[in-house]
Chains A and B, each alone.
Chain A
Amino acid sequence: MSAPTRTPARARMSSPAPGPRIQPRRTTGVPYVLIVPALIALLLGLGYPLIWQIVTSFQKYGLSQQFGKPPEFVGFDNFANLVWDGEFWAVLVRSLLFCVVTAAVTVVIGVLMAVLMNAVGRTVRLILQISMLFAWAMPVAAATTVFIWLFDRRRGVVNYLLDAIPGVDMNRYDWLGNPLTFFFVASVLIIWMSVPFVSFAIYAGLTQISEEVMEAAQIDGAGAWQRFRRIILPMVRPVLSIVLLLQLIWDLRVFAQITLLKDAGSKSGDFDLLGTYIYKLGTATGDFGMASAVSIVVLLVTLAISWVYVRELIKEDEAQ
């Protein structure tokens, strides 16, 4: 991204100001001083844990080290252990699948909701927006608890309703009892919580599409699907890609929902995703070295996913 991207970025920063030109000599040290507190906070808040994590991932760091014994530098041992650890690969693949499916479904539903909001009248839209705001504002712990109740084996409304369908036997079906249905519940919960954000963002994008364009397309004989596919989608594409990126990242490091669901279900490793796996390695069994190594892997995966998108965004920027 080095040479070709920098030029337009810099050009943009200085060129679009048609007003009074900024005098170069006026730029004293003030901006730098102003940035200092933020920078310090950032370094302390983000830099320190990150550096600690990188250093620890190369160390044998257990509970003894936590209590003051000097850690031993072990090079890439922790990472080498991971390569040969079947459970780690299982968790990684499971997490990636979970995150891709959940993020994709979230974005699809989010887009549909946005299109719906754009199409309906004001009152209905307001009702939609308010209900989605509620879903979005619901604290994770509260939402998860409600979902645990909904899917409760004995008294859950889901089993009750399904069981009422003739020929379906869902009495006391244990949703949290096997990994497939467990992750289904987790996925539904996370989608429910993240659709509002996606649809608000896309809806904002939709309002930017001028009615003239849509009308012109309609006159030219474009059907509803064609208008959606050929006009709406390309126009909200930048928003869409950033929203999808965010969802992917969030869903990859999902932790609270899985922990709470596991508390209501199984302690078994078959129900772990990366977040709970790291917690289990580090905080629960005291192997902070290995836990840090896994965290670094997650960081790299996140960077890899983001990289694709950042490059895409830059390309679009240039194209404009």
Chain B
Amino acid sequence: MADGGDTPDTLRDYLKTEYKKATGGTLTIEEQGWGDALAKLQTALPDADNTPDVTEIGNTWSPTFTNVGAFSDISDMYDELGGDKLLTSFVDVGKVDGKNYALPYYFGSRYVFYRKDLYAAAGVEVPTTLPQLTEIAQKLHNDSTSGFYLGGEDWRNGVSWIFAYGGDLAKQDGDQWKSSLSDPKSIEGLEALQELYTSASNAPVTEADSTPWVNINTQPEAAGPEAATIIAPGWAHWSIGDLAPDPKDDTKQVATWNDEVFGAYVLPGVDGGVAPVFAGGSNIAISASSKNQAGARELMKIIFSKEYQEMLGANGLGPANSDYVSSLGDDQFAKALIESALGSKLTPAAVGWAGVEGSGLLEEFFGKVNAGGDVASLAAEYDKKIDELINKS
């Protein structure tokens, strides 16, 4: 699953207008929630009467759906849509036997947001290595404010620690994948994560993909924020800042970014540099059962056009085509996004990966690690459970 940040209205209108111009037909855009998207795709895609003609799909689900034959072969359009300029790692998860089925739609990434005021008060600096991050988080930590707010089951953020220590979720052996949580490097990373979580986060062990940005804002009538540091998808910066009633609707609050109070940095690596984070973003593909293949291909051309790619960038979504990445701008968010995205990693391109995500095993495993369990024995246990699903389609 990818970061939920998504196509704003102006972009949708653009697609509809351009599609009408190109074909005279109507483009209907339907929004699916990430939560039940997997279930909906499974049932709708095989059914010619109900399938979307074109669909966005979480990059980590692409291998599963591509392998079972859910999408049309679009290798003949590959060069026209951007070819080698398209984000390679995303192109690869949408490929089977050298043929392209799903292509990158946009990329996102995760980086760290922090409270400058709390850092200054505690006399700590922005960390440059991962162990340093744990150290300063412990200094900032107390019962009402987490030094680093991170949910126990939040594997999409927690996995960065495995990556940072050189480990991985799974390794490929021939055409089979094997879960590699027990790899010594993965264990090292998990132990570092466990230390950070148990000593510097007040988040419940059962919290997974949540809305961490609400914790770094100072809530109305609260003495201070719940967190001094969080890690979140890049677009979360729209929701971080000083809170004030929305002028249009005073039952709601809007956040205005304040450079005095808030800052951002990329997650540092173990020995400095940048830690690889989970690559957010999504792919896009044409449903194989669609009766409107030609129309769907027209839409693909519009999506991969220079204009649309630059519109994505202007809205903070990483364009699939590297020629247009500059459209993200050069403010601090764009810089952090690009810097963290360059080193980011995808989940294993295994056929059964969507099943592994759907099973909730990763949440369960990270939750048990962060609850203080024995990392090595838990890793062995969950390697076995994940192995049962990872090669299954």
Residues of A within 8 A of B (CB): 62-64, 66-69, 153, 172, 174, 176-177, 263, 265-270, 280, 283-287
Contact = CB atoms under 8 A, between A and B. Distances in A.
Contact of B204 (A69, A177, A284): A177
B364 A63 contact: no
Nearest to B45: A67
A93 to B, nearest CB: 19
Contacts, number: 86
A63 B205 CA distance: 32
Nearest to A154: B226
Interface in B164-213: 202, 204-206, 208
Given A266-B153, A284-B38, A63 B68 contact: yes
Given A266-B363, A284-B38, A284-B355, 9 more contacts: A177-B204, A177-B205, A265-B206, A267-B367, A268-B206, A268-B360, A284-B359, A286-B354, A287-B355
Contacts of B127: none
Contacts of A265: 206
A266 B360 CA distance: 9
Interface in B29-44: 35, 38-39, 42-43
A263 B38 CA distance: 15
A280 B359 contact: yes
A283 B39 contact: yes
Nearest to B368: A268
A286 B360 contact: no
Contact of A67 (B39, B70, B153, B354): B70
B142 to A, nearest CB: 13
B125 to A, nearest CB: 30
Contacts of B202: 172
Contact of B208 (A67, A174, A267, A284): A267
B206 A177 contact: yes
13 contacts: A63-B65, A64-B69, A66-B42, A177-B206, A267-B153, A268-B153, A269-B361, A284-B38, A284-B355, A285-B356, A286-B64, A286-B393, A287-B392
By DSSP majority rule, is chain B's interface helix, strand, loop, or mixed?
A: helix
Q: How large is the interface on B (under 10, 10 to 19, 20 to 34, 35 or more residues)?
A: 20 to 34
Interface string B344-381: 00000000001110111101100110000000000000
A174 B367 CA distance: 14
B46 interface: yes
B320 interface: no
B28 to A, nearest CB: 23
A266 B38 contact: no
Given A67-B45, A267-B363, A174 B68 contact: no
B208 A266 contact: yes
Contact of A174 (B45, B70, B204, B392): B204
A284 B206 contact: no
Q: Which of A66, A263, A270, A280 has the most CB of B within 10 A?
A: A66
Q: Which 9 A-B residue pairs are closest in the complex by CB-CB distance?
A: A284-B358, A266-B206, A267-B363, A285-B355, A267-B360, A268-B364, A283-B39, A67-B68, A285-B358
B35 A174 contact: no
Given A63-B42, A66-B68, A285 B389 contact: yes
A49 to B, nearest CB: 13
Interface in B19-71: 35, 38-39, 42-43, 45-46, 64-65, 67-70
Contacts of B364: 267-270
A284 B39 contact: yes
Contacts of A285: 355-356, 358-359, 389
A291 to B, nearest CB: 12
Contacts of B361: 269
B68 A64 contact: yes
Contacts of A153: 204
A26 B360 CA distance: 63
Contacts of B206: 174, 176-177, 265-266, 268
Contacts of B68: 63-64, 66-67, 69
